[in-house]
Amino acid sequence: MFKKSIITATLTVACTVIASPGFSADVNNGKTLHQAKCYQCHAQKSGLGNGDIIYTRADRKVKDPARLKFMVGMCNTEMRLDLFPEDEADLVAYLNQQFYKFK
């Protein structure tokens, strides 16, 4: 029982560290993921062939860091992108650095 509790606690801490905003995200990996998994779909949806316009339009849905994280997670689930939590964090970091500039 004690051993199971320690393993559970260790996994919980590890998952929290990976998913936390303080986790050191890899912006370069986020850029690569964006090009490979996001850009084409966003370019088609824009109707203009520009996958970046969704982030810079006046009526964008993302207005804060929490919503950005939510939207990346939702796209990952809905589009079955198969991103790991650390990939999502990298993608959020890239999008924030490149387009949103949230603090």
Identify the band that residue 19 occupies on the pLDDT scale cut at 50, 70 and 90.
very low
> Domains of the chain: which residue ranges?
25-100
Is residue 34 a contact partner of residue 91, using CB atoms and an 8 Å limit? yes
Biggest CA pair distance of the chain: 58
Contact between 11 and 85 (Cβ < 8 Å): no
Q: Please, how many CA atoms are within 13 Å of residue 47, restricted to the half-sphere of its CB?
A: 0
Q: Where are the alpha helices (DSSP H) in 22-64?
A: 27-33, 39-46, 53-56
Q: Could you tell me the pTM of the whole model?
A: 0.74
pLDDT in tens, 55-73: 988 888 899 999 999 999 9
Residue 10's pLDDT band (cuts 50, 70, 90): very low
